[in-house]
Structure 1
């Protein structure tokens, strides 16, 4: 084996570009960098086209597609802003509003994915800040922390959880995630609230606030989006109940997202607009990442490098995850490390 096989060099170059993308003059998005890496290994013949196509995890791609359709429709119809008002209208002070933002968006991100909630939540938070004369900075930080922490709660809360749930040999992902992560997530959401209150107390005053309802922009799409959202919740509950009662219906994460998106795709007059405007960049990122990681995996470079190292060690996983996720996106980190764990025999016990 070469000291550094070419695919590994490409992967390192991708990670370096991701780390430095904010400092170099040529601005590159993460999806563009990952796509460049995948194209490089393809055109240099490091991976056959058939193998590249097979490496793309269709379950992940279809799940993301379905959730993006639902998320965009909720935003475009105005229904998400509308239900945001429903949740926040009971908050009578800026402190209670902050608390509501953290827990509503935190728990919500476990269902609609943190990317979706971050995108639609940002304008909502800015609107709330303007209306109630509250500094936007602590509110946006609250949103950022909330969707990051809250998304940990479920297997569909963020892309890295999805990769672990689908590829990590977890038989009952919703129950498993809730069992181990519900209490820590709630504790950390509360800690987020306390930290923001402490560090931004001069920006968040205890004055009373008055809410005004946000109108729905497209009622037909809102009805379909609402139905799709309820369908997601229903199928998640059905999956949990079926497992708990030993009925064990075969409801995959992919089917939850796809089936729930069908009402919008089939019945909305704006279906083509919705499909056109979903987050295709993230889908390209994932497809490219699967190709590049498969190519790297086939070199057996990392498998041989970890001989004698217990990659399943919890302290090691924590250290690697905390350090590397500061420099590269956590999704490729999980995509790289998860196969090493599975190769070492890790899995749900």
Structure 2
């Protein structure tokens, strides 16, 4: 008995060390002194969970939620086709032709970023919107900082509305078994109010730019090349997919079928689409599923679940605070996986998952490093000569995060 208890103790210690090491690298972004990134850390952690015997290889396979991976892959293919077809450039040009003053232009950037992120993966929207917005505001002679800052903030807020808005919502959709329409029905008001608050907070912080009333100079929309037939096909497939989502069809099946159908084209080679897919993110998801499963197997006992239950995670305010704190320590996707074993035992797990979706997503706006979407925009903007400062972002993002989460808690 004593030897068995000692062996269990060593197994638990190994699981905790692997888990902490993996999450530390994910939180930092890479292993200092090495070229190991987040995806590599997740794969290494998963391999160690299997290698030291915490999980068998079969258990590791079962730990992977293939619905989440399939949904994310399908949506990446859809967004890649929209991008390669020129759809996002057409949207940008549509805004240029109608923006007359700085404030309406800010509203347009916020709403376009938020609405597109509500149905498509927010990280990819940030990737495509940043260079388009930078080009637009420079041609208009405006300070690019507030407009560029609006992209990740609005994308984070808008993505809270649906299961397909961001990676953590995709996981939550699979864990909670909430229908797409029920998820959207509960959280779209949070997204809408959040987008309004985002506009107001940025406009107030840069009120000298937006309250002057000076009109924007008239500029001609540039002549751009785009694949007309591919735009129509990609948009049609996207709309049909959304219809199936709201009709209650399995989102993973709809997404992968829609994505695969879009590969059937004469206009774009498939390898161009494959280059648009974030393969490291998919690999990180696979690894994290296994790492967390190993921790659950070795450490998350009924006594631990009961002890954590004393925090009253069923209360939206407490669960929101815990989720937001975890999301800013280890990022939102790992935070959701950490909370998974403690949510299933609550009295109303589906409402709890909605709270986690709301808080983990909105918490991404707290700091510049709070979400992958923020980092994507910061890196793309820096490459174009625009620096998003940590302090400048924080003075808007922190109060915006608090305000939107408070509204989310009240609403839910």
> Do these two structures clear the TM 0.5 threshold for a shared fold by scoring above it?
yes
Q: Are the counterparts in 1 of residues 30 and 38 from structure 2 also a CA contact under 8 Å?
A: no
* Residue 180 (structure 1) aligns with: 186
* Residue 340 (structure 1) aligns with: 342
- Whether 2:302 is the aligned partner of 1:288: answer no
User: What SS is found at the alignment partner of 2:342?
Assistant: helix
How is 1:46-61 mapped onto 2 (pairs within 5 angstroms)?
46-61=54-69
The alpha carbon displacement at 1:142 in A equals: 0.3
Q: Tell me, in whole angstroms, the C-alpha distance in 2 between the residues paired with 1:45 and 1:23.
A: 24
* Residue 242 (structure 2) aligns with: 236
The alpha carbon displacement at 1:214 in A equals: 4.9
* Residue 318 (structure 1) aligns with: 320
Q: Tell me, in whole angstroms, the C-alpha distance in 1 between the residues paired with 2:44 and 2:218.
A: 50
How is 1:55-74 mapped onto 2 (pairs within 5 angstroms)?
55-74=63-82
Between stretches 133-142 and 5-14, larger displacement belongs to 5-14
The alpha carbon displacement at 1:340 in A equals: 1.8
Structure 2 stretches lacking a partner, 5+ long: 1-7, 352-412
Q: Tell me, in whole angstroms, the C-alpha distance in 2 between the residues paired with 1:2 and 1:211.
A: 69
How is 1:171-320 mapped onto 2 (pairs within 5 angstroms)?
172-174=179-181, 176-204=182-210, 206-219=214-227, 223-240=229-246, 242=247, 251-268=249-266, 269-301=268-300, 303-308=302-307, 309=309, 310-320=312-322
The alpha carbon displacement at 1:47 in A equals: 1.5
Q: Tell me, in whole angstroms, the C-alpha distance in 1 between the residues paired with 2:146 and 2:189.
A: 24
The alpha carbon displacement at 1:154 in A equals: 0.8
Q: Are the counterparts in 2 of residues 88 and 101 from structure 1 also a CA contact under 8 Å?
A: no
Q: Are the counterparts in 2 of residues 228 and 260 from structure 1 also a CA contact under 8 Å?
A: no
Per-residue Cα deviation, 1:48-71 (whole angstroms, up to 9, x for no partner): 112212221111111111111121
* Change in CA separation of 1:270 and 1:211 when aligned onto 2, cut-off 3 Å: farther
Q: Are the counterparts in 2 of residues 78 and 215 from structure 1 also a CA contact under 8 Å?
A: no
Task: Provide the TM-score with structure 1 as the length reference.
Answer: 0.88
The alpha carbon displacement at 1:26 in A equals: 4.6
* Change in CA separation of 1:84 and 1:180 when aligned onto 2, cut-off 3 Å: same
Q: Tell me, in whole angstroms, the C-alpha distance in 1 between the residues paired with 2:239 and 2:224.
A: 22
Q: Tell me, in whole angstroms, the C-alpha distance in 2 between the residues paired with 1:111 and 1:214.
A: 27
Size of the aligned set, in residue pairs, is: 337
User: What SS is found at the alignment partner of 1:89?
Assistant: helix
User: What SS is found at the alignment partner of 1:46?
Assistant: coil
* Change in CA separation of 1:23 and 1:195 when aligned onto 2, cut-off 3 Å: farther
State the Cα RMSD in Å: 2.4
Structure 1 stretches lacking a partner, 5+ long: 243-249
Per-residue Cα deviation, 1:192-234 (whole angstroms, up to 9, x for no partner): 1111111123445633243543555452xx5335423322222
Greater RCO (Cα-Cα under 8 Å, separation 6 or more): 1
Q: Tell me, in whole angstroms, the C-alpha distance in 1 between the residues paired with 2:337 and 2:32.
A: 26
Task: Provide the TM-score with structure 2 as the length reference.
Answer: 0.75
Choose the corresponding residue for 1:117, options 110, 125, 135. Answer: 125
User: What SS is found at the alignment partner of 2:165?
Assistant: coil
Per-residue Cα deviation, 1:252-287 (whole angstroms, up to 9, x for no partner): 111221122123212244112312441101110111
Q: Tell me, in whole angstroms, the C-alpha distance in 1 between the residues paired with 2:35 and 2:104.
A: 39
* Residue 245 (structure 1) aligns with: none
Q: Are the counterparts in 1 of residues 102 and 209 from structure 2 also a CA contact under 8 Å?
A: no
Structure with the bigger percentage of helix? 2
Per-residue Cα deviation, 1:129-169 (whole angstroms, up to 9, x for no partner): 21111122111110011000000011110111111111113
- Whether 2:154 is the aligned partner of 1:146: answer yes
